[in-house]
Amino acid sequence: MNRIKTDICVIGAGSGGLSVAAGAVQMGADVVLLEGHKMGGDCLNYGCVPSKALLAAGHKAHAMGQGAFGVTGGAVSADYAAAKDHVAATIAAIEPHDSQERFEGLGVKVIRELGRFTGHDTVLAGDTEITARRFVIATGSRPFVPPIPGLADVPYLTNETIFDLRERPEHLIVIGGGPIGMEMAQAHRRLGCEVTVLEGAKALGKDDPELAEIALENLRAEGIRIIEGAMVSEVSGSEGTIAVTTEDGTRHEGTHLLVAVGRTVNIDRLELHKAGVERAGGGVKVDSSLRSPTNRRVYAIGDAAGGLQFTHVAGYHAGVIIRQMLMGLPSKARTDHIPWATYTDPEIAQVGLTEAEAREAHGKKLTVVRFPYSGNDRAIATGQTTGLIKVMVVKGRPVGASIVGAQAGELIQLWALAIANKLKMGAIAAMVAPYPTLGEINKRAAGAYFSPKLFDSPWVKRIVRLVQRF
């Protein structure tokens, strides 16, 4: 058996683990990185990257088929296999950045084996035992497959397999109306598939319901059947002929089935008990510093930490623990400034509290300001007037922002900056945005907060009249 002693052992080469490994080794630490599957993890190979590439193909097909601004649209023939070639090319272009070769070039010891704990300070990966001062669990998550009767006996897809599909589905049934399900539904509809989405509760249910409904209305208008309150009771059929029955007895038939009902954290093979590490919330039990309270050598980041499951959260967590492990500085993770986006058309983006959450937390202290895309000159010029922004403000500071519309994922970043740095609405209002841009929507929302104070105040009018006398 090979034995290695190191400063930091990172388990998992997804976005969070790679960020820790790269940062730590370049700052002078000895690092061992374990990965039993693909470098780059879910985000590069099965998640963010391939899904956005397929959405881009669908967007191109949709745009070419639509007539606008004096340009006549027409029938578009979408080559599904070629769209998947674009997905593969996108992954291949990014892959070198996450590759074993790159990280070995940085000085990281990369072992392509799964790791499991054998003690409080040891992990076994293949025939190598690693003893480390610190361990970072960055194992990510995988698709959750619910115990639906009959599901195990029929062919079904998840986000880990759908990007390998080369023949276009005639009719795709999607179980799950969350971000993954809705993004794949729209991409496939725009590439020429019939699509039915079955959601047991409310589609896009984690987003502001007013904004979610705007997006869902657009998806339905494109021909996607979205059935809410449809709990699946049984799945049957065979390849090319799938039937999904819901609890009300309705039978939905299609050629392919995508299961997109959530994620399961990859910690079941780590043998955490041998390291004295406890579980909680579906992941590793950690404190606000992302450290195990029962084994101070162990940290967990990203999905493994049991909280928000986003690639950018894993990257943020990496920075939090690097400050602790390498610099000895106190550092705690927070969630109030974490944004997220769903890349349907229109996009939905959120940071901080939704309107409902803010009303519950702050009551009468809350002010909600709104501004529609239809009031933005750039949106009018480009035909992108569907959408709006809502900003939740308490004592002059934004505590949340919700956006639905074109480039919502880009626009939300200003509010993430404001909330992270506790900026006031005056800072946003003082910003000068180039004209005409969609970014002016943010400035106009800030202006909407101050407008009543300026234009409806009798005191302001008295002061103005007084000044005019001189």
pLDDT of residue 469: 74
What is the predicted pLDDT for the residue at 361?
97
Indicate the pLDDT class of residue 456, thresholds 50, 70 and 90.
Answer: low
Q: Given pLDDT bands bounded at 50, 70 and 90, which one contains residue 443?
A: very high
Q: What confidence category does residue 452 fall into, taking pLDDT thresholds of 50, 70 and 90?
A: confident
Question: What's the confidence (pLDDT) of residue 457?
Answer: 61
Q: What is the mean pLDDT of residues 14-30?
A: 97
Q: Which residues contact 38 (CB under 8 A, 6 or more apart)?
A: 44, 45
Q: Residues 18-43: what's their mean pLDDT?
A: 97
Q: Look over the chain and give the mean of its residue pLDDT values, rounded to a whole number.
A: 95
What is the percent of the chain where pLDDT is above 70? 97
Supply angle C-alpha 371, 180, 223, rounded to 5.
75
Q: In this predicted model, what pLDDT tens digit does every residue of 374-428 receive, in sequence order?
A: 999 999 999 999 999 999 999 999 999 999 999 999 999 999 999 999 999 999 9
pLDDT of residue 463: 63
Contact 429, 443 (CB under 8 A): yes
Q: Give the pLDDT score at 1.
A: 84
Q: What is the distance, to the nearest Å, from the Cα of residue 386 to the centroid of all Cα atoms in its chain?
A: 22
Confidence at residue 461, expressed as pLDDT on a 0 to 100 scale: 60
Decide whether 151-261 matches 339-455 in CATH topology: no
pLDDT of residue 454: 58
Q: Tell me the average pLDDT across 182-210.
A: 97
Which fold would CATH assign to domain 339-455?
Enolase-like; domain 1 (3.30.390)
Q: Predicted confidence band at 254 (pLDDT cuts at 50, 70, 90)?
A: very high
Model confidence over 243-253: pLDDT tens digits? Answer: 999 999 999 99
Rounded to two decimals, the pTM is: 0.94
pLDDT band at 77 (very low <50, low <70, confident <90, very high): confident
pLDDT of residue 460: 59
Q: Is the peptide bond before 169 cis (omega within 30 degrees of 0)?
A: no
**For 424-440, what is each residue's pLDDT tens digit?**
999 999 999 999 999 99
- Residue 178 binned pLDDT confidence (cut-offs 50, 70, 90): very high
The CA-to-CA distance between both ends of the chain, in Å, stands at: 90
As a dihedral over the C-alpha atoms of residue 282, residue 284, residue 287, residue 293, rounded to 10 degrees, the angle is 130
Q: How far apart are CA 402 and CA 389, in angstroms?
A: 6
Domain ranges of the chain: 2-39+99-143+264-327, 151-261, 339-455
Q: Which residues contact 180 (CB under 8 A, 6 or more apart)?
A: 51, 159, 260
Of 19, 7, 11, 10, whose CA–CA distance to 320 is shortest? Answer: 19
List the beta bridge partners of residue 109: 32
User: What architecture is the 151-261 domain classified under in CATH?
Assistant: 3-Layer(bba) Sandwich (3.50)
pLDDT of residue 194: 98
In our burial notation (b when 16+ CB lie closer than 10 A, e otherwise), range 333-365 reads beeebbbbbbbbbbbbbbbbbbbeebeeebeee
**Residue 399: predicted pLDDT:** 98
Contacts of 284 (CB under 8 A, 6+ apart): 137, 267, 272, 277, 278, 292, 298, 300, 304, 305, 306
pLDDT of residue 262: 94
Is the confidence at residue 73, as pLDDT, over 90?
no
The tens digit of pLDDT for each residue in 336-366 reads 999 999 999 999 999 999 999 999 999 999 9
Burial class (CB in 10 A: 0-12, 13-18, 19+), 75: exposed
CATH superfamily for 2-39+99-143+264-327 is FAD/NAD(P)-binding domain (3.50.50.60)
List Cβ neighbours of 120 (8 Å cut-off, separation of 6 or more): 275, 276, 295, 297
Residues recorded for the chain: 470
At residue 106 the predicted structure's pLDDT band, cuts being 50, 70 and 90, is: very high
Q: Are 17 and 305 in contact (CB under 8 A)?
A: no
Residues with Cβ within 8 Å of 71's Cβ and at least 6 positions away in sequence, in order, are: none
Q: Which of 322, 334, 352, 330 is nearest to 418 (CA)?
A: 352
Residue type, 29: A
